[in-house]
């Protein structure tokens, strides 16, 4: 196995240079309980038209990675201690705040997890969508409002011309999420980060939101980073998957390979915990124990206290993310033993 995963090829149909690259990203938070190592060498990339799904339990570092990419981490208590983030080859971590503002929304945009908290309750939805068009594109209020109506219509808001003057609390959860998507698309970004875009929505609305995102992505050839817990959604829309645990990526690869034959015990356990229609009456499998406290990550492989395949060497050796012969990457010392012929 090779430990060089920086040049992993993109899936068929998504060739070319990456739009966004995250390389060996490290972030720590200074808390009352000590220094929490929140990100410990995260690396991934996304190309035009590609969907990268980022999976993992709560606290694994998925949203912190996204917030670091966007340059919106709270500093302090957060501190970036290493790594690189590049948009079309341009380093973002060393860019000025003015340059980061230019790129944010215009080239790299984000749909936040809780639309009700992300939207300002004292301004209408149309005003909030149009604000960036006025400040970034120099549009008049009339033109910005007309474009806001077009965007609300694009994301499926019924009666967009009337609802553009509504406040966030007057929208349902699904409509607020659509309004957030409209806001994130207003400046035609190349990369869209969707952080749990279907949280707290019913199954029907979830499907509508994901179909909407997939359709817009195909039309605009955006790179999409989808942060989610929903493995069913991932199976439907993702090209590649990055699985995170304790602030690091433990497996990365093509969606079909990963679902058919996971090469890390954590991924294997995640897939085994999905309820199945063909297993009625059987006990639902759960991952034993809890994720580690990030101020006290165990020595060796961070998953070893919960791993059903643990061996003595796992308690002592912290495995890097290694490239397997089939192109996937796994941070397990025994990943090749998990590969089915």
Q: What is the pLDDT of residues 117-163, one digit of tens each?
A: 889 999 999 999 999 999 999 999 999 999 999 999 988 889 999 99
Q: Residue 174 domain-assigned?
A: yes
Which of 188, 209, 241 is the last residue in one of the domains? 188
Please identify which residue in the block is written with the tokens 């493995």.
231
pLDDT of residue 143: 94
Global pTM?
0.89
Quick one: 76 and 198 in the same domain?
yes
Query: Residues 6 or more apart from 96 whose CB is under 8 A from it?
Result: none
**Nearest CA among 125, 115, 171 for reference residue 148:** 125
Q: State mean pLDDT over 23-34.
A: 93
Q: What is the pLDDT of residues 201-245, one digit of tens each?
A: 777 777 887 888 888 888 889 999 999 888 888 888 899 999 999
Q: Which of 24-28, 74-78, 162-166, 303-307 has the lowest mean pLDDT?
A: 74-78
- CATH number, domain containing residue 79: 3.40.50.300
* Higher-pLDDT residue of 113, 128: 128
User: Which helix (DSSP H) or strand (DSSP E) does residue 97 occupy?
Assistant: helix 97-103
C-alpha span between 337 and 88 (Å, rounded)? 37
- Rg of the chain over CA atoms, in angstroms? 21
Which of 138, 172, 188 is the last residue in one of the domains? 188
Q: Contacts by 209-212 with C-beta closer than 8 Å and gap 24+?
A: 209/174, 209/177, 209/178, 209/181, 210/236, 210/237, 212/155, 212/156, 212/178, 212/181
Q: What is the pLDDT of residues 183-200, one digit of tens each?
A: 998 998 999 999 988 776
Q: Residue 57 domain-assigned?
A: yes
Q: What is the pLDDT of residues 247-297, one digit of tens each?
A: 999 999 999 999 999 999 999 999 988 777 666 767 778 888 899 999 899
Domain count, the chain: 2
Which of 156, 173, 188 is the last residue in one of the domains? 188
pLDDT of residue 200: 65
Which phi and psi (to 5°) does residue 195 adopt? -95, 100
């Amino acid at each position: 196995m090779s430990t060089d995963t920086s040049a992993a090829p993109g899936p068929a149909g998504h060739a070319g240079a990456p739009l966004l690259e995250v390389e060996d990203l490290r972030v720590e938070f200074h808390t009352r309980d000590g220094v929490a190592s929140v990100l410990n060498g995260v690396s991934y990339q996304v190309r035009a038209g590609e969907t990268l799904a980022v999976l993992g339990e709560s606290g694994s570092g998925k949203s912190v990675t996204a917030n670091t990419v966007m340059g919106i981490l709270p500093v302090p208590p957060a501190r970036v201690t290493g790594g690189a983030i590049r948009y079309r080859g341009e380093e973002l971590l060393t860019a000025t705040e003015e340059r980061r503002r230019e790129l944010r929304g215009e080239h790299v945009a984000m749909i936040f997890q809780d639309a009700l908290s992300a939207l300002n309750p004292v301004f209408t939805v149309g005003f909030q969508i149009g604000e960036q068009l006025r400040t970034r594109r120099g549009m008049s209020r009339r033109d910005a409002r007309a474009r806001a109506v077009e965007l609300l219509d694009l994301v499926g808001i019924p009666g967009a011309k009337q609802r553009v003057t509504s406040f966030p609390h007057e929208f349902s959860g699904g409509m607020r999420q659509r309004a957030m998507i409209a806001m994130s698309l207003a400046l035609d970004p190349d990369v869209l980060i969707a952080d749990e875009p279907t949280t707290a929505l019913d199954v029907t609305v979830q499907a509508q939101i994901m179909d909407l995102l997939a359709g817009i992505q195909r039309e605009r050839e955006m790179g999409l980073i989808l942060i989610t817990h929903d493995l069913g959604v991932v199976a439907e829309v993702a090209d590649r998957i990055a699985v995170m645990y304790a602030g690091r990526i433990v497996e990365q690869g093509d969606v079909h390979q990963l679902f058919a034959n996971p090469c890390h015990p954590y991924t294997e356990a995640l897939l085994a915990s999905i309820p199945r229609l063909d297993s009625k009456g059987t006990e639902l499998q759960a991952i034993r124990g809890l994720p580690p406290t990030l101020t006290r990550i165990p020595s060796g492989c961070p998953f070893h206290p919960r791993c059903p395949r643990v061996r003595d060497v796992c308690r002592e050796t912290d495995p890097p993310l290694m490239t397997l012969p089939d192109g996937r990457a796994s941070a397990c010392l025994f990943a090749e033993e998990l590969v089915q012929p």
